[in-house]
Structure 1
Amino acid sequence: MNLTVSHRGQSYPLSLLPNDTLAVLQAKLEELTSTPPPLQKLLYKGKSSKPQDDQISLTQAGLKDGMKIQLIGTTLQELDGIKTVESEVQKRERIMRERAAKAPSKLRSTGLSQSSDLNYRFHKLIPLPHLPEPSSALSLLQRLSDDPAIRHIMNKHKFSVGVLTELAPHEHPELLGLNENAGQQIKLRLRTNRYDGFRTYKEVRRVLCHELTHNVWGDHDNNFKELNSLLNREVAEYESSVRAGTNVLGYSGEVYEPSAQLEADSYSRVLGSVSGSAALLQGDSEDRRRRVLEAAERRLRTEEEEMEDSCGTAGRSALADEN
């Protein structure tokens, strides 16, 4: 089986047996690119979106003779360049967490003990200064913190987060987000796998909504799924109300009812087709609204299932701690 792997603008021809495992391929790629297997991400046609067992054969993984593969990952040389600084940063974070744990008054993540809406926010934004463009990372964190839809759900659900920061390179490289101690600190994967740019804002914000749900529920159970779906709906409805120029959803429980055209636009975005919009415009308003919501919820469920695989938060919930 002849394969061509591209990495950082360079191509590597490989010849392997169809029964060779993915581990064999990853080992060869490590020799060629100095990228360790845990940090390798292989992109090719037919690849499953789920992490694959490295002991399955190349054929079972969907690889075929003549196939081209793109390798994304950080090299050992790059890793060595930031390990020392990153270790120091993590050490300081650990010391700060220990000090916070010993403090007489500890921040409650759900905000139940706070009396003012001003406390339902991110109290500190911290980019990683040893990574490229820390000012850009801070701008992204600030945009998330100032996002009107995010502020809306934080006030409505009384969420308070001590620190909003980013996941360091190679700190749980398989994760997109992490919520520590039910809101004491939320870490988000802001950068691309190569750390040469930043992920899209909407992608990072959806991860943030996922991690905010962990302020209340620790594990990915039905309680978590219900609240997480609610947060995403409230963000979408809030922004839809702003775009439509109608009453912005406040904290009084107002219900936003989208127009037929806005529903059609939403349906088109969900299905990715103009014909879907035309079909949506048929029937009464209640039927249109139902179809929009069903299509959106199906898409969100699929995205959430993938996101749960990239979330490192689990354990006791904030509500359990309150009791």
Structure 2
Amino acid sequence: MSRNVFGDIAVIPHLPHADQAFALLTRLARIVEPIMISRGLFVSRLTEFLPQPEENLLGLNYGQGWWICIGLRKNNHRGINQFRPEEDLLDTLLHELTHNHFGPHDANFHAYLRGLKEQYYLLMSLQGDDRQPERQGDGRYHQDRDRDPGRRPQVPGGRDHDGMYYW
């Protein structure tokens, strides 16, 4: 993989199956690399993170791409040995890449994210993968149906931490 779009890729080494986690995160990076190159996106660090079970976080973007964290594993009553489905992880990575340009989940954010997803599905179709998302009446993909664009997760004090975008 070219290092011109991701400076560093890392996982949590003390968690079970760290080698599988690294292979998965590297695969996700390879999949989105052509999209990132076409849009001039760069991420200094792409890492795994493990949110607390009560947190509803799938990804974080610090400093508009300085550091993106992806929750690769399910952290629930079944433990941390289960990885999330690849399609969900790709959706999260595209979401976090959108935060390189847009902070708030407003119309501009969703339009840019839609464009990234369309590029992703075009790329997959060119590679012989016939996955296509089903669209809702408002043009959003079904993966987005439960996300309220105006809702931001609550953090202590009710504010977001500086430089951090939550999802």
TM-score by length of 2: 0.77
- SS state at 2:93 partner: helix
Q: Deviation of residue 218 (structure 1)?
A: 1.2
Q: In the alignment, is residue 241 of structure 1 matched against residue 84 of structure 2? A: no
Structure 1 unaligned segments of length 5 or more: list them: 1-117, 245-261, 271-291, 318-323
Residue of 207, 210, 235 corresponding to 2:92: 207
Residue 232 of structure 1: aligned partner: 117
Q: Deviation of residue 130 (structure 1)?
A: 1.7
Q: Deviation of residue 159 (structure 1)?
A: 0.6
Q: Deviation of residue 169 (structure 1)?
A: 4.4
| Contact 1:218–1:315 (CA under 8 A) maintained in structure 2 | no
User: RMSD in angstroms over aligned alpha carbons?
Assistant: 3.2
Larger of the two Rg values belongs to structure: 1
Q: Deviation of residue 314 (structure 1)?
A: 7.8
The CA distance in 2 between the partners of 1:171 and 1:162, in whole Å, is 27
| Contact 1:120–1:158 (CA under 8 A) maintained in structure 2 | no
- Matches of residues 77-96 of structure 1 in structure 2 within 5 Å? none
Q: Deviation of residue 179 (structure 1)?
A: 0.2
Closer/same/farther in 2, CA of residues 172 and 187 from structure 1, 3 Å limit: farther
| Contact 1:192–1:198 (CA under 8 A) maintained in structure 2 | yes
| Contact 1:176–1:310 (CA under 8 A) maintained in structure 2 | no
Q: Deviation of residue 305 (structure 1)?
A: 3.3
- SS state at 2:57 partner: coil
The CA distance in 1 between the partners of 2:7 and 2:84, in whole Å, is 23
Task: Choose between structure 1 and 2 for higher RCO, CA contacts under 8 A separated by at least 6 residues.
Answer: 2
Q: In the alignment, is residue 302 of structure 1 matched against residue 145 of structure 2? A: yes
Residue of 40, 48, 56 corresponding to 1:174: 56
| Contact 2:59–2:93 (CA under 8 A) maintained in structure 1 | yes
TM-score by length of 1: 0.42
- Give the letter aligned to residue 153 of structure 1: I
The CA distance in 2 between the partners of 1:299 and 1:135, in whole Å, is 31
Q: How many residues align?
A: 155
Residue 121 of structure 1: aligned partner: 5
Q: Identity over the aligned pairs, expressed in percent?
A: 28
- Give the letter aligned to residue 202 of structure 1: E
- SS state at 2:68 partner: strand
Residue 26 of structure 2: aligned partner: 142
- Matches of residues 15-94 of structure 1 in structure 2 within 5 Å? none
Give the helix-richer structure, 1 or 2.
Answer: 1
Q: Deviation of residue 223 (structure 1)?
A: 1.2
- SS state at 1:243 partner: coil
Structure 2 unaligned segments of length 5 or more: list them: none
4+ long deviations beyond 6 Å: 310-317
Residue of 93, 103, 108 corresponding to 1:223: 108
Residue 109 of structure 1: aligned partner: none
| Contact 2:51–2:57 (CA under 8 A) maintained in structure 1 | no
